[in-house]
Amino acid sequence: MADEPVILEMRSITKEFPGVKALDRVSLTVRAGEIHSICGENGAGKSTLVKVLSGVYPYGTYQGEIIFQGHESRFKDIRSSETAGIVIIHQELALIPELSITENIFLGNEPRRFGVINWGEAKRRAIELLARVGLQDDPDTQVKHLGVGKQQLVEIAKALNKSVKLLILDEPTAALNEAESQHLLDLIRGLKGRGIASIMISHKLNEIEAISDAITIIRDGKSIETIDVTTDGVNEDRIIRGMVGRVLENRFPDRTPRIGDVFFEVRDWTVRHPLAAERLVVKNSSFTVRRGEVVGFAGLMGAGRTELAMSIFGRSYGTYVSGQVFKDGKEIQLRNVSEAIDNGIAYVSEDRKALGLNLLDDIKRSIVSAKLSKISRGDVVNDIEEHKAAEQYRKSLRIKAPTVNEGVNKLSGGNQQKVVLAKWMFTDPDLLILDEPTRGIDVGAKSEIYGIIRDLAAQGKGVIMISSELPELLGVSDRIYTIFEGAITNDIPIDRADPETLMKSMTSAKKKVTQP
Amino acid sequence: MSEPTAAPKKSGGFRDLGKMFGSGSSGRQVGILGALVVIIIFFQVATGGLTLDPTNLINLVNQNAYVLILAIGMVMVIVAGHIDLSVGSIAAFVGIIVATSMASWHFPWPLAIILGLAMGFVIGAWQGWWVAYVGVPAFIVTLAGMLIFRGANQYFGNSQSVTVPDAYTFIGGGFIPDFGPNTGYSNGTLLIGLVVAIVIIVQEWRARRTQTEMGSEKAPLWVSVVKIVLLVAVVVYATLLFAGGRVGTSFPVSGIILGVLVLAYSFVTRRTTFGRHIYAVGGNWHAAELSGVKIKRINFLVMMNMSILASVAGMIGVARAGASGPGDGVGWELDAIAAVFIGGAAVAGGIGTIVGSIVGGLVIAVLNNGLQLLGVGIDRVQIIKGLVLLIAVGIDVYSKKQGRPSLIGMMTRNRRVQDGAQVGPQAAQPVDRPAVAPIDSAEESSRPKSTTPN
């Protein structure tokens, strides 16, 4: 492979967002007809890199050079990169569900005769393209009737139509089942035979190991190394070491856990996808939480962590199939959010702007919004009580705002997150489920949030912490469950947990239970 | 202009101004109030004093009370993220049934009113069910309702008018009865003016006490005093105008009904959990649902409430006209919607106040009235009204894009800069994941695509 000509060279790419260096002098070299994987933890900068490459972030918004097929390329948008032969297939598919396969393939690129779309020609070519990707469906089928796997193939057919030279696949198999994934990987190998290079981003290390010719590892926005698989060979452990190999900083508060008895238990929890009824997003999951314990949930994006948490929290996600919830030894029913709140469960969502806050509100209204009854007599809200309660949280959580009358949209991410935490602490929960509580906030605020978690556990509350950042999970948790493809794969006490062990259980279904 | 009802509004606006100066919605409210004052003064001068003439003011209240009542319900609907196009038709349908019940079935008028309210309740439950529980967008449900109830009005009344007994016209065209010694003024109206003035003073005093208790910064005492003096002067002036008109006239009953409804609904939307939930659903229904708000129930109640208020408006309209006909209520929904948006509500929901909508409605009303007094034809009046709506909302949208809450926000920029300095250091810190291109304002990007949950 090493003697093939270089098709793409990204030289020293640096991309900054206000206050954050997302990419720091990242380099990437892809040879013709190569399958090149990019590996890294969530947030390492993989997606940013391919967005730079595909023109989502246009020339001028980053530093560095992109040399594609021997010329320096300055893409100003996705269209210009596509014209050059670089096509990106996103994790969220970009097809229009109401249009047919043919219409989708030729969208924005319709074959014309005398200015009118030549549908006959389009359909003929569509059938040809579908044959190349191995899809037997009628090209007139509406895309909404296809499963995710087949939609993926339509996307690739669309790319082939644009005479693609370099295909970028962002988590292509995340939503696919085993057989579909296999078909897709075979297809990518087949494209390689025709001289089409692919860049693949995937969390599934077994797939990467199986398919890649080269692997570039990115960590904290820097390219760490490129492994030439054809000459050096590779295994999952080798990749994991590259991905997590960093010194853990001591930014977690010291704490001596005082862990009590199991008070919260979920048994055999199974949930269906809200739209695709054949997909189970949570499968037979059982777990326990003790008083005063911080339980980590580790899993890669799309593993079903959020889905598990939200479905328990008043069935806010998907369709409930089976499972029981016990609190203090008694089975409880959590059919809607109010029942969950009344039973002392709180859920801090991973997307505080879309799901956690009404950004039109001020701090005090936000803090009391999940339990208005606490400061109301009858149905009338007591302004003074509200103000006092909010003021108390503003001080104790150190929310940086002049008054609690400040609009939450004016706060920084870290302070918004504190408001959301205050909102749920105000409901007097026994169990707090924190979904990515430190996502997108700066280091200082993160460590304050760890402090809040410690205090909550010290008060005897159970805390479930879902996080994509392994160092954070290792620093805060007393015990960690790993989740892979909707199922709990391991239950690891903190003294036996390390990044390698976690990553293994997060990327394969091999059940290796190490009971405490 | 209906001062006794307008007075508590003004106090609301100013109180907000004092409490959270520079915040978007209240800034907008104060702005539109200023515009109303300017318009009144303009017409007062241009018409040579005809605008603030007792007879004209009484007309103004009578002509607009029902649209303002609709605006009360409409702002709640719009805040929740919906719209209601059916209110004019519902008003007409309820109107003809109520008129027929008195004319043909010999219902006494109180019973007829109860019948009308019950009909509003049933129609509202019907529409609310479709919106909240079936999940049909309110635009469609109420577009259907607009056709259905317009047709029902004409079918039921054979497209003819039904006159109502004189006793009933009291609620639409009646006045506060006079009593007591002959003062040269209507004593009833004087009494109401006195009550309103006292309420204003008490409210201001309570607001200050609450601020003290909360420990939040208080406007200096002289500001409160100036405010009270100003408001009381307006109330006294208006009272004397209303009370000093032709003998036999005084403050209209429809204005009293409007005033009571404004106070009641302001309380509901501002102080109750139900009111909070309406804003929560409109602001971000995902977050509301995850906070335990029963959004279907809120949507149902908001839509139902609108229909009940439409029935009230319809009955007042019939009482004023003395008859119910096939053309009643045509275009009322659009006047109400325009009032709400001029009054500062957001098209996407989550923002808007009762008081703001009433002021917005008064802007349209005064404009209408003043232009007519000047002899401007109905054609040109419509053009002007359309432009006013467009410009009012345009200014709002433009200022938001500029990152400023409103024109008022621009004027109070000094203060905002100080605030900015306090939160500045951390505002500069990264608040977003890099993957999110910082194009939209946080407000816009966070808004769910559909505001009508199923």
Predicted-complex ipTM score: 0.77
Instruction: Give the full edge-to-edge strand order of the sheet including A262-272.
Output: A280-290, A262-272, A319-327, A330-332
Q: Please give the helix or strand (H or E) that residue A65 lies within, else none.
A: strand A63-68
Q: Which of A246, A268, A302 is the last residue of a domain?
A: A246
What pLDDT is stored for residue A430 in this prediction?
Answer: 95
* B151-169 mean pLDDT: 91
What pLDDT is stored for residue B416 in this prediction?
Answer: 34
Q: Same structural domain for residues A393 and A337?
A: no
Q: Same structural domain for residues A388 and A482?
A: no
Asked whether residue A387 is assigned to any structural domain, the reply reads: yes
What pLDDT is stored for residue B188 in this prediction?
Answer: 84
What pLDDT is stored for residue B109 in this prediction?
Answer: 92
Q: Same structural domain for residues A337 and A380?
A: no
Domains along chain B? 3-174+252-419+440-446 (1.10.3470)
Q: Check A337 against B291: CB less than 8 A apart.
A: yes
Q: Same structural domain for residues A188 and A45?
A: yes
Chain B residue whose CA is closest to A48 = B435
Return the HEC string of B279-319: HHHHHCHHHHHHCCCCHHHHHHHHHHHHHHHHHHHHHHHHH
Q: Please report which confidence band the pLDDT of residue B5 belongs to, taking 50, 70 and 90 as the band edges.
A: very low
CA distance to partner chain A, nearest, from residue B197 (Å): 24
Q: Looking at beta carbons, which residues of chain B come within 8 Å of A405? A: 19-20, 23, 216
Matching residue, tokens 């008022």: B408
Q: Please report which confidence band the pLDDT of residue A339 belongs to, taking 50, 70 and 90 as the band edges.
A: very high
Query: Who among B271, B291, B351 is closest to A360 (CB)?
Result: B351
CB of A86 within 8 A of CB of A68? yes
Nearest to A482 by CA among A515, A448, A511, A455: A511
Q: Inform me whether the pLDDT recorded for B434 exceeds 70.
A: no
Query: Who among A17, A48, A373 is closest to B430 (CB)?
Result: A17
Matching residue, tokens 């208006």: B238
Q: What rounded mean pLDDT belongs to chain B?
A: 81
Q: Check A400 against B423: CB less than 8 A apart.
A: yes
Q: How many domains does chain A have?
A: 4
Q: Looking at beta carbons, which residues of chain B come within 8 Å of A40? A: none
Q: How far apart are the first and last CA of chain B?
A: 42
- Please state, for a pLDDT cut of 90, what percent of chain A lies above it: 39
Residues 6+ apart with CB under 8 A from A85: A68, A69, A162, A163, A164, A165, A166
Q: Which of A222, A246, A270 is the last residue of a domain?
A: A246
CB of B185 within 8 A of CB of B243? yes
The angle formed by the CA atoms of residues A117, A118 and A122, to the nearest 5 degrees, is 110
CA distance to partner chain A, nearest, from residue B279 (Å): 9
CA distance to partner chain B, nearest, from residue A314 (Å): 9
Best probe of the B interface among A306, A342, A358, by most B CBs < 10 A, is A358
Asked whether residue A209 is assigned to any structural domain, the reply reads: yes
Residues 6+ apart with CB under 8 A from A448: A397, A398, A414, A418
- Please give the C-alpha separations between residue B240 and each of A432, B173, B183, B257, in angstroms, as whole numbers: 61, 20, 11, 20
Query: Who among A357, A381, A414 is closest to B273 (CB)?
Result: A381
Asked whether residue A22 is assigned to any structural domain, the reply reads: yes
Q: Same structural domain for residues A314 and A186?
A: no
- How many Cβ atoms from other residues are within 10 Å of residue A80's Cβ? 16
Could you tell me how many residues make up chain A?
516
Q: Same structural domain for residues A76 and A172?
A: yes
Q: Inform me whether the pLDDT recorded for A258 exceeds 80.
A: yes
Rounded Cα–Cα distance for residues A325 and B157 (Å): 59
pLDDT by residue (tens digit) across A52-68? 998 888 888 899 999 99
A173: helix, strand or coil: coil
Asked whether residue A253 is assigned to any structural domain, the reply reads: no
Q: Looking at beta carbons, which residues of chain A come within 8 Å of B23? A: 362, 405, 407
Query: Who among B274, B286, B291 is closest to A369 (CB)?
Result: B291
Residues 6+ apart with CB under 8 A from B38: none
Q: Same structural domain for residues A55 and A186?
A: yes
- What single letter denotes the amino acid at residue A439? R
Query: Who among A43, A369, A402 is closest to B280 (CB)?
Result: A369
Asked whether residue A251 is assigned to any structural domain, the reply reads: no
Helices (H), B20-53: 24-46
Q: Please report which confidence band the pLDDT of residue B421 belongs to, taking 50, 70 and 90 as the band edges.
A: very low
CA distance to partner chain B, nearest, from residue A128 (Å): 36
Q: Which of A163, A197, A215 is the last residue of a domain?
A: A163
**DSSP state for residue A269 in the 8-state scheme:** E
Chain B residue whose CA is closest to A403 = B216
What is the pairing mode between strands A330-332 and A319-327?
antiparallel
CB of A446 within 8 A of CB of A253? no
CB of A166 within 8 A of CB of A30? yes
* B388-399 mean pLDDT: 83
Q: Same structural domain for residues A196 and A171?
A: yes
Chain A residue whose CA is closest to B426 = A412
Q: Check A370 against B272: CB less than 8 A apart.
A: no
How far, rounded to the nearest angstrom, does the alpha carbon of residue A34 sit from its chain's CA centroid?
27
Q: Identify the residue with better confidence: A178 or A280.
A: A280
Q: Please give the helix or strand (H or E) that residue B365 lies within, else none.
A: helix B354-373
- Angle (deg, nearest 10), helices B354-373 and B378-401: 140
Asked whether residue A252 is assigned to any structural domain, the reply reads: no
Asked whether residue A119 is assigned to any structural domain, the reply reads: yes
Q: Same structural domain for residues A439 and A338?
A: yes
Q: Please report which confidence band the pLDDT of residue A367 belongs to, taking 50, 70 and 90 as the band edges.
A: very high
Q: Which domain holds residue A153?
A: 94-163
pLDDT by residue (tens digit) across B185-241? 888 888 889 999 999 899 888 888 887 877 666 677 888 888 889 889 989 998 888
Could you tell me how many residues make up chain B?
454
Contacts 24+ apart (CB under 8 A), A282-286: A282/A307, A282/A308, A282/A311, A282/A318, A282/A486, A282/A487, A283/A485, A283/A486, A283/A487, A284/A487, A285/A323, A285/A483, A285/A486, A285/A487, A285/A488, A286/A488
The angle formed by the CA atoms of residues A375, B348 and A92, to the nearest 5 degrees, is 100
Q: Same structural domain for residues A272 and A369?
A: no
Q: Check B23 against A356: CB less than 8 A apart.
A: no
CA atoms within 13 A on the CB side of A161: 28
Q: Check B430 against A19: CB less than 8 A apart.
A: yes
Q: Inform me whether the pLDDT recorded for B452 exceeds 50.
A: no
Q: Check A358 against B433: CB less than 8 A apart.
A: no
The angle formed by the CA atoms of residues A224, A227 and A232, to the nearest 5 degrees, is 145
Q: Please report which confidence band the pLDDT of residue A291 belongs to, taking 50, 70 and 90 as the band edges.
A: very high
- How many Cβ atoms from other residues are within 10 Å of residue B48's Cβ? 9
Q: Looking at beta carbons, which residues of chain B come within 8 Å of A91? A: none
Q: Inform me whether the pLDDT recorded for A4 exceeds 50.
A: yes
Query: Who among B290, B423, B435 is closest to A316 (CB)?
Result: B290
CB of A394 within 8 A of CB of A401? yes
Q: Please report which confidence band the pLDDT of residue A247 belongs to, taking 50, 70 and 90 as the band edges.
A: very low
Residue A280 belongs to domain with CATH number: 3.40.50.300
Q: Check A361 against B279: CB less than 8 A apart.
A: yes
Specify which residues A330 forms β-bridges with.
Answer: A327
Q: Same structural domain for residues A74 and A193?
A: yes
Q: Looking at beta carbons, which residues of chain A come within 8 Å of B350? A: 358, 360
CA distance to partner chain B, nearest, from residue A68 (Å): 24
Best probe of the A interface among B19, B268, B429, B441, by most A CBs < 10 A, is B429
CA distance to partner chain A, nearest, from residue B40 (Å): 32
Q: Same structural domain for residues A200 and A74?
A: yes
CB of A446 within 8 A of CB of A438? yes
Q: Check A359 against B427: CB less than 8 A apart.
A: no
Q: Check B271 against A440: CB less than 8 A apart.
A: no
Q: Looking at beta carbons, which residues of chain B come within 8 Å of A360? A: 279, 283-284, 350-351, 443
